[in-house]
Amino acid sequence: MKILVIGGGRVAEQLLNYIDLKKHQVYVVERDPDRRVELSSKYDIFVIGKDATDVTLYTSDLEMDTIDMVIALTGSDVINLFVLAIAKIYNVPYRIAKIINPGLADLLYELGLGIPVSQPSLVASVISNYMESVVTPKPLLMFGEYVLYTISVVETDPIVGTMIKDLKLPEDTRIILLFDGKHYRPPRLTDKLLPGYQLIVLSREKDVEKYFKG
């Protein structure tokens, strides 16, 4: 895919670490010349020094009809909405924006401009899920007899410091994902379970918490 990222800040840099730059062609628009040099030296990308509100960026510097995805990551909600509006005019199929104001996130949905990623909502959701799953596993989804749970590991849990391979789990119970505070990832058998970890567990055990909480 051809991916256009507007804003070359820290969020953009984290995103570039996840994108396979051998498979995707990425353009980053960033005003700060020092930041442009930094990004160019670290990543195999095209860096454009221009303001996101400069219409010539979309009419002259870029061939917008060839762009598959636009990701707006500037520090301004208004600019990010503007970028997605431009992307919609050019029929870019995938449009994502970082949004701080939840009200603007709702407006973005209503206008059909794209997908808002609200940082405050995201952080609040992670904390809320942790709080709700500290004592008792929180059911997420049901698949027939199986239930997908969120389980948070706390200091008093007997599994703290235990490798996943040493957990005495029944055959119908599996840890599907592990969240270490930064990433959701498939668990490794040698992972030691630490306080603060969140586990996504698939099980048909009704009292699955006893295997994690004692």
Q: 191 with 164: CB under 8 angstroms?
A: yes
Q: Which helix (H) or strand (E) holds 197?
A: none
One-character DSSP codes across 136-159? S-EEEEEETTEEEEEEE--TTSTT
Report the alpha-carbon distance of residue 206 to residue 48 in Å, rounded.
55
100 and 194 in one domain? no
Number of domains observed in the structure of the chain: 2
Is 128 inside any structural domain? no
Tens of each residue's pLDDT in the chain, 214 residues: 999 999 999 999 989 998 999 999 999 999 999 999 999 999 999 999 999 999 999 999 999 999 999 999 999 999 999 999 999 999 999 999 998 887 888 888 888 899 888 877 666 777 777 777 877 888 888 888 999 999 999 998 999 999 999 999 999 999 999 998 878 889 999 999 999 899 999 999 888 999 999 8
Q: Among the three residues 123, 142, 157, which one is the final residue of a domain in this structure?
A: 123
Report the alpha-carbon distance of residue 163 to residue 193 in Å, rounded.
6
Which residues constitute the domain of residue 50? 2-123
Residue keyed to tokens 């990433």 = 183
